Structure 1
Amino acid sequence: MSFEFPDPPIDSLRRKLLIGSLASTAVWALMPAAAKAEGAAAPASAKTARDAVETVREAILRLSREVWNNPELSLHEEVSSEIHLRELRAAGFTIVSTGTSGIPTAFLAEWTQGEGGPKIGFLPEYDALPGLGNAAEPRQTPGPAGVEVGHGCGHNMLGAGCTGAALALKKMMIDGGHAGTIRVYGCAAEETEGAKVYMARDGLFDDLDAALAWHPGPVNATGLLRTAAVNMLRIRYSGRTAHAGVDPWEGRSALKGAELFGTGIQFMREHLKPTTRLHYVYSDGGGTPNVIPDTAEVLIMIRDQDRADVDAVTTWVRDVANGAATSTQTTVAIDHFFGMHDLLPNETLVQRLHDHMTALPIEWTEDEQVFAKTCQREMGLPEAGLMPIVIPPLPEITTGGGTDVGDVSYNTPTGLFALATMPIGVGLHTWPVTACGGTSIGDKGSILSAVVMAGVGYDLIVDAELRAAARADFDRRKAGRKYVSPLPKDRVRPDGIPSRLLMRDGFDEFAAGYREKQP
C-alpha cells in the first residue's frame, strides 16, 4: 500500500517526527507532556476488546508468521489467502466466495448472529513485494524465500490484524448477544491492481455500515488523511523495422514515438496543479540499436487529488500520446488498465480509532529497541528506535500516494490508522519492514491493531448514534457524488494472474458471464 504520512501543516517538531527526519532519542524529551498524554478516557469496550483478542492471540500470530514465511507476489497469493481462509473456517465463518470478483486469490467470508443488525467489514491484505526478502535480522540477510520476495510493506501483519479483529469481534458479539454481521474481504494484490477496486465495482461494500483497516508504519497515528486518485495507462507504439545503418529512412521508430511522448509529458509539468503527479517508465524500447524498433511501450501512472482531476490530466496525456504518434508516423494503442479513487476520510471513525489507540499498552522491550536501532544504523539513520506514543490526530491533509482502500471509502464509511511496526525514519517498501515483521515487533502490531479494530467494530455494532454520525460524515464528504468505477467497462480482471489459478477457479465462465452483463 502506498500509505504515507506527508508533510502536514502542523508544528515543525511533530512534522519532523512524522517523516522521520529528526529521529533521535532526544525528540521524546522535547515532546510536550500534553501531547504524550493526549486522548480521551479509554472507551468502555477497550478492555473487552483486549480480552477478546487474547482468546484468539495464537490464531493472529499464526496468520502473521505463516504469511511472513510464505511471501507471495500480488495475484500469486495462493498459500497466503488459504492461511486466512483456514483460520476463518476454523472460527465458524462462512466462506461466501473464493475467486471473488474474478481474482483467484481474493475471497469473501462472513459470520452473522441474529436477525438484521449492523454490518462491519475488515480488509486484510497479504501480498508481498519483489526484492525485499529478509530474515528476521537487523541487517540485510536473505529470508525464508531468499531475497526475491518479502513482506516489505508489512501485509503479513496487516492481514493478521484485520482477520484477527474479525475473530475477536465475533466473540464480543456472542458474549453480548448482539445481532449483526462481520464480513472479511480477502484483498488480494494491493500492491499492483488491487482487488478492492474490482470488489467495489461489484457492489460488495454497498451494504456495510463501516469498513475498518490499518497499516504498519513508523508511527502510531490516525487522522483525516487523504490519498491520491490514480490512473494507470500503457502507451504502446508500433512502427516499422529497417536496418538502422543501411536504410533507416525505410523504418518508423516506435521508440521515437515513446521518447517524444515522454518529452511531451515533461512539457506538461509547468501547467499542472501542485497536486498532480506523473511518473513513467519505458517498459519496451527495442532489442538492438542496429534495428529500428517497431514496438515500444511506456507505463505511466497519473495521480491527483480526486477522480475529476486525475481524469482531466488523463485526457491530456492521451492527447500527448496521439500527438507523438502523428509526429513520428507511428501508431499508438492506449490501454487504461487500472485506476483508484482518492481516500475519503471519516472524522467520526478517526476520533473513535484514536480513542482506542490511546488506550493501548504500547511498550517496547530493550531487545526490541536494540533491534530497531541496529536497523537504523544499518540504513544510516539516527538511532531513535521505535515510537512509544500515539500522536494527536492529523488534520486533513493530502498525500501523493494512493491506496485501493479509497474505492472502499466511496462506498461506505471507512476508518484507517497506522501502528509502529518499524523503526522511526524507516520507510515502507524497505528491508527493515520485512525484518521487523518476522519478530515480536511485528507480532505486537498484529495484536494491537486487532484490539483497536475489534473495539471500534464493537462500538459500531452496539451504538446506533455512532453509526449515524459516521454515515453523516460520509454523506457530507461524498456530497451526492455517485461512485463510478475507475476500471474500464471491458476490464474483466487484472493482468498477471497465473493461468493455473484461472483454470482452477473456472475464470473463463466468470469472464463470459461478466461480458454478457455489460451494457
Structure 2
Amino acid sequence: MESDMGSKRGLRPSGRREVVLGVAGTAMAAGSGATAPGAAQAPAPPTALALPPSSRAAGRAVAELRDPILRISRGVWAKAELSLAEVLSHAIHLRELEAAAFRVTSRGTAGVPTAFVAEWRQGSGGPVIGYLPEYDALPGLGNAAEPRQAPGPTGTDSGHGCGHNMIGAGCTGAALALKRLMEAAGTAGTVRVYGCAAEETEGAKVYMARAGLFGDVDAVLAWHPAPVAAAGLVRMNATNNAKIAFRGRTAHAGNAPWEGRSALKAAELFAAGVQAMREHILPSARIHYIYENAGVAPNVIPDFAQLWITIRDLDRPKVEAMTAWLRQIAEGAALMTQTRAEVDVFFGMYDLLPNEPLARHLHRHMEAVPLEWSAEEQDFARACQRAMGVAERGMATSLLPFIENGAAGGSTDIGDISHQVPTGVFIWPTLPLGIGLHTWPVTACAGMGIGDRATLQTARILAAAGFDLMTDAALREAARADLRRRREGLPAFVSPIPTSRTGPLALPPFLTKTGGDEVVSGMQPDLG
C-alpha cells in the first residue's frame, strides 16, 4: 500500500489489544498475541465457524485459470513500468479480461491514462463487487528472480519491490474466478475491475473516488504483500502532498548580492519553520519533505527553490489543519526574504476505514488456504534473508490471529474508497520474514515460485469472499452498517484533490500529448 508502509508507530492507546504495523506491514507486539518480525509464529486459533464452501469452489476455479493469472503476474513483473507510465502493464490486464468476456467500460479513467474499468455482468440487477488491481513498479529495485542482488531481466532498474504484479494478478484473477463461480451458480450481479494505476505516487483510486465511480458498488476487495498473513481492523493515515515553491530575484552572489532575493533562503526558513512546528503536533502526525530545486550554482542567487512535502495524520480534518499551518509558515518565510511563496496541494488521501464484517470474513477464507511452501522456495527465502543480514527463518507458515486494533503511520489510496463503500483488505506473505517492502528481495520473490503461489492463493481468497458477497445479503448489509457507524459524525466526503486538477501532476509528456493518444488507446503493444 502506497510506498508508505514505511515507519509506523502506535497511534493511540486502547483497552483492546493494539497491533502496530512495522516497516513491511508485519505485526509487532504491543500487547498480547501479536508476532514480531522473525519470531516463531504460533498457529492461529481454530475458528468455531465452518469454512464457507465457496472457498473450495474458488480454489478449483483459480486452478483452472492458473495460466492467465500467472501470465498477468509474470508479464507485469517483467515489464516493471513506473507509476503513470504503465502502458504495457495495464494492457496485460485488459488482454486477459477481454479474453474472458469482460467489457471495458472506461480507458484513461478519471484523467489517468493508464487506469481503466472493466466489468462482467450476469442477469438483471444483483450486487456489484469491485476488485482493485495495481501494477506500477518502483525505481531502483529491478532484480532478477535470484536470491541476491542481480540486474533485472529486461535491463531496467525498476522493479516490483512492493509486489504490485502479484496484487494486480491476484485481484484480476479473482474477478475471472468469480465470473466462473457465478456462471456455475446462475448468480445475478456485476464483477467490476478497477485498474488502479500509480498507487506509488498519485494513485488513480483517489481520482476514481472523486469521479464517483464507486457509487453503485456494494463492496470492494483487495490485498497487499507482506511477510505475514493477517487481516483485521487496521487504520492508516490521511495525507496531503504539496509543492512549496519560492520565487525571488537572481543576482551575482559575489559582485552584487544585495540586488537579489534568495528563493533558497526562503526555502531554508520554511524548513526551519517545519522543524519548530514538530514540537507542537500530535504524536500521530508525520511530516517529511525533500528539496527538489535549490539553485543552479553557488555564485548565482537562486530565484527559484522548491520543496515536496508530505503531511499525515489520523484523519482529513487533522491533515487540513496542519496544511493550513504550513501555508502560514511558507508565507512567513516569503515575508522574511522578500520573495513570493506558492503552495500547491496537488494530491491527498483519506485515512483507511477498516470494515469489521469484511475483515472477519476474509480472515475465515484465509484460514482455508494453507501457507505451504516448497523446500526450494524456503531455501530461496532464507538465502534472501542471509543476503540482507536478518534471521534465516524463511517464509511465514501460519495465519496471525485477527487484529482487533491495528495502527499504521503510512497511507493508501484505498482510503478514499473506504469512506464511500465497504472495503475489505488483507495482507499475505510474498516476502521472507524480517524483510521490508521496497527492497530487492521483494522483486526477486515476486518473479518466481513464491510470487506465483501467493498470487494464486490470494486470487482464491478474494474470489471466494466476492462470491459470498454476491450471494449473502446479510453480509452486504452488515458491511454497509459498519461503514455507516464508522462514518457517523464525520464531515461529508470531499475529495482532497483540487477541483482545478484534471489529472495527476506527474503525467509523462508522451501520455498527455494532443492529437489522439494512440500510445494508450490505439496501438497494439507487444505484451510479451
Residue of structure 2 in register with 1:264 after alignment: 273
In 2, the alpha carbon distance for the partners of 1:300 and 1:168 equals: 41
Match of 1:320 among 309, 329, 336: 329
In 2, the alpha carbon distance for the partners of 1:278 and 1:45 equals: 44
Match of 1:87 among 96, 100, 104: 96
Identical positions, percent: 55
Residue of structure 1 in register with 2:145 after alignment: 136
SS in 1 for 2:231: strand
Match of 2:350 among 325, 341, 358: 341
Q: Deviation of residue 365 (structure 1)? A: 1.1
Unaligned runs of 5+ in 1: 508-519
SS in 2 for 1:149: coil
Residue of structure 2 in register with 1:499 after alignment: 509
SS in 1 for 2:360: helix
Match of 2:494 among 467, 476, 484: 484
Match of 2:38 among 20, 23, 32: 23
Match of 1:169 among 172, 178, 185: 178
Residue of structure 2 in register with 1:276 after alignment: 285
Residue of structure 2 in register with 1:185 after alignment: 194
Deviations 1:307-347 (A, max 9, x none): 01000000000000000000011111111100000001000
Residue of structure 1 in register with 2:109 after alignment: 100
With over 3 angstroms needed to count, the CA separation of the structure-2 counterparts of 1:416 and 1:293, relative to structure 1, is same
Residue of structure 1 in register with 2:302 after alignment: 293
Q: Deviation of residue 103 (structure 1)? A: 1.0
Q: Deviation of residue 21 (structure 1)? A: 5.6
| Structure 1 segment 24-63 matched on structure 2, within 5 A | 24=39, 27-28=40-41, 31=42, 35=44, 37=46, 40-63=49-72
- More deviation in 278-287 or 39-48? 39-48
Deviations 1:186-216 (A, max 9, x none): 0000000000000001000111000000001
In 1, the alpha carbon distance for the partners of 2:329 and 2:124 equals: 56
Which amino acid is 2:485 matched to? R
SS in 1 for 2:253: coil
In 1, the alpha carbon distance for the partners of 2:49 and 2:372 equals: 20
In 2, the alpha carbon distance for the partners of 1:152 and 1:486 equals: 28
With over 3 angstroms needed to count, the CA separation of the structure-2 counterparts of 1:182 and 1:129, relative to structure 1, is same
Deviations 1:398-456 (A, max 9, x none): 21100000011111000000100000011111100000000110011110111111011
In 1, the alpha carbon distance for the partners of 2:27 and 2:299 equals: 56
Residue of structure 1 in register with 2:223 after alignment: 214
SS in 1 for 2:28: helix
Structure 1 residue 409 corresponds to structure 2 residue 423: no
Which amino acid is 1:163 matched to? T
Residue of structure 1 in register with 2:376 after alignment: 367
With over 3 angstroms needed to count, the CA separation of the structure-2 counterparts of 1:278 and 1:372, relative to structure 1, is same
Contact 1:134 1:146 in 2 (8 A): no
SS in 2 for 1:181: strand
Contact 1:7 1:15 in 2 (8 A): no
Contact 1:20 1:426 in 2 (8 A): no
Contact 2:396 2:432 in 1 (8 A): yes
Contact 2:69 2:456 in 1 (8 A): yes
Aligned length: 501
Match of 2:456 among 447, 454, 468: 447
Residue of structure 2 in register with 1:516 after alignment: none
Residue of structure 2 in register with 1:250 after alignment: 259
Q: Deviation of residue 41 (structure 1)? A: 2.9
In 2, the alpha carbon distance for the partners of 1:326 and 1:21 equals: 49
Which amino acid is 1:488 matched to? P
Contact 2:121 2:190 in 1 (8 A): yes
In 2, the alpha carbon distance for the partners of 1:353 and 1:188 equals: 24
In 1, the alpha carbon distance for the partners of 2:477 and 2:102 equals: 27
In 2, the alpha carbon distance for the partners of 1:21 and 1:392 equals: 13
Contact 1:178 1:461 in 2 (8 A): yes
- Give the alignment's Cα RMSD to 1 decimal: 1.9
SS in 2 for 1:302: strand
| Structure 1 segment 418-433 matched on structure 2, within 5 A | 418-433=427-442
Unaligned runs of 5+ in 2: 11-16, 21-25, 518-528
Deviations 1:107-164 (A, max 9, x none): 0001100000000000000000000000000010011233521000000000000000
Which amino acid is 2:501 matched to? R
Residue of structure 1 in register with 2:161 after alignment: 152
SS in 1 for 2:354: coil
Q: Deviation of residue 503 (structure 1)? A: 3.6
Match of 2:212 among 203, 206, 212: 203
Deviations 1:286-323 (A, max 9, x none): 01111111110011000000001000000000000000
Which amino acid is 2:90 matched to? S
Contact 2:291 2:306 in 1 (8 A): yes
Q: Deviation of residue 55 (structure 1)? A: 1.5
Match of 1:474 among 474, 478, 483: 483
In 1, the alpha carbon distance for the partners of 2:79 and 2:350 equals: 30
Contact 2:429 2:454 in 1 (8 A): yes
Contact 1:20 1:424 in 2 (8 A): no
SS in 2 for 1:145: coil
In 2, the alpha carbon distance for the partners of 1:204 and 1:22 equals: 38
In 2, the alpha carbon distance for the partners of 1:454 and 1:397 equals: 25
Which amino acid is 1:162 matched to? C
SS in 1 for 2:512: helix
Deviations 1:230-257 (A, max 9, x none): 1011000011111111211111110000
Contact 1:99 1:505 in 2 (8 A): no
Q: Deviation of residue 375 (structure 1)? A: 0.5
Q: Deviation of residue 20 (structure 1)? A: 8.0
Q: Deviation of residue 42 (structure 1)? A: 1.5
Which amino acid is 2:492 matched to? K
Residue of structure 2 in register with 1:67 after alignment: 76
| Structure 1 segment 117-132 matched on structure 2, within 5 A | 117-132=126-141
Residue of structure 1 in register with 2:250 after alignment: 241
In 2, the alpha carbon distance for the partners of 1:429 and 1:111 equals: 34
With over 3 angstroms needed to count, the CA separation of the structure-2 counterparts of 1:211 and 1:307, relative to structure 1, is same
Contact 1:256 1:328 in 2 (8 A): yes
Q: Deviation of residue 482 (structure 1)? A: 1.8
Contact 1:225 1:394 in 2 (8 A): yes
Contact 2:147 2:381 in 1 (8 A): yes
TM-score by length of 2: 0.92
Question: Greater helix share, 1 or 2?
Answer: 1
Residue of structure 2 in register with 1:231 after alignment: 240
